[in-house]
Amino acid sequence: MTNVDLVKQAYSNFATGNVPGVLDLFDPAIEWHECKGMPFVKGNGHYIGHEAVVTQVFMNLPVFFDGFNIAVNEIFGSDDKVVMVGYYQGTNKATGHAFKANATHVWTIKNSKLAHFLQAVDTATING
């Protein structure tokens, strides 16, 4: 499986609610960088390991958003880096605002596992 295929599989698993399948693709010590503007982020948005990502990010998505999903426009990569370009959709529960926000993710792959995640997303649109 190529690095691009690995990331495509992660998004496919996430889209179908297969969180165990997503976590199987993560390095146990994955470094996760969530944008500070996401409504559930406290501190610097930097999390390490499966448990931190699940409890601080994945479990908060349905708390703060209705219908949250990631629409992938393209995934491409070179060497150990893979980039997803797409957008987030959903409704912010606190504001009732439906959003479609540009999102880009940069992944680093080590030993055939997703080891590092960097999010860049239009949080102003999400929080609007």
Helix (H) or strand (E) holding 53: helix 50-56
Neighbours of 99 (CB within 10 A): 20
What per-residue confidence (pLDDT) applies to 128? 87
Tokens of 74: 């393209």
Classify 3-127 by CATH class. alpha beta
What per-residue confidence (pLDDT) applies to 31? 98
Residues 25-84 pLDDT 10s: 999 999 999 999 999 998 999 999 999 999 999 999 999 999 999 999 999 999 999 999
Beta bridge partners of 120: 104
